[in-house]
Chain A
Amino acid sequence: EAQVTQNPRYLITVTGKKLTVTCSQNMNHEYMSWYRQDPGLGLRQIYYSMNVEVTDKGDVPEGYKVSRKEKRNFPLILESPSPNQTSLYFCASSRGGGSIYGYTFGSGTRLTVV
């Protein structure tokens, strides 16, 4: 089944403790992206990647890092999480940036930083 897999689904952590949210897609998509979703603000792009080893900042990149060493994987790294990073995170992929099908989203990761 074609899908984007994120792990974990739920995570509660403490301020400053480094964490990684994994994202993997099995559709051979070139384009991958991370979004966060907050009430009243909608989905906002954190980082995106056009292909392997090509990544760039989205609208809200502060406090996050990403890497794209393989086509299928695009982990999101929070080096020193803070409470304002408590949010619902979605990984997404598409065949190319201009795909008419937009993104396929993962199931989401609900992160709480205390």
Chain B
Amino acid sequence: GQNIDQPTEMTATEGAIVQINCTYQTSGFNGLFWYQQHAGEAPTFLSYNVLDGLEEKGRFSSFLSRSKGYSYLLLKELQMKDSASYLCAARSMDSSYKLIFGSGTRLLVRP
């Protein structure tokens, strides 16, 4: 089967650090993506991991453990504009190359 799990909502304070977890079970795995989506808008690409370890991009980092079927997105120095939904997606290994999305984690950043 295919399943992506992530928390529904999280709240954090401006300037703080937050970690959003994602666990996945897919029949074949070909990379893990994180997207940011503001309400009513298109998802935008944040990060991609295909090998185990941490990928850092400015304030955002993403980690992958393939053996555990686990990823997290780390957001540092939170800003109010980081309030959005964060979508975890695993890419299928079959010919569709489809991204299988979790339901998203809604992050609220408070002053």
What is A's interface to B at a CB cutoff of 8 Å? 31, 33, 35, 40-45, 48, 50, 56, 58-59, 88, 90, 96-98, 100-108, 110
Contacts and interface: CB of A to CB of B under 8 A. Distances in A.
Nearest to A56: B96
B80 to A, nearest CB: 23
Contacts of B98: 33, 45, 48, 58-59
Contacts of A108: 40-42
Given A31-B97, A42-B87, A100 B31 contact: yes
Contacts of A58: 96, 98
Nearest to B96: A48
Given A42-B104, A58-B96, A97-B95, 5 more contacts: A43-B89, A43-B101, A45-B96, A58-B98, A105-B43
B4 interface: yes
A33 to B, nearest CB: 7
Interface of B: 4, 30-31, 33, 35, 40-45, 48, 50, 87, 89, 91, 95-99, 101-104
Contacts, number: 65
6 residue pairs, one from A and one from B, having the closest CB atoms? A97-B97, A105-B42, A43-B101, A42-B101, A42-B103, A102-B33
A21 to B, nearest CB: 14
Contacts of A105: 42-44
Contact of A102 (B35, B42, B104): B35
Given A103-B99, A107-B41, A107-B42, A43 B48 contact: no
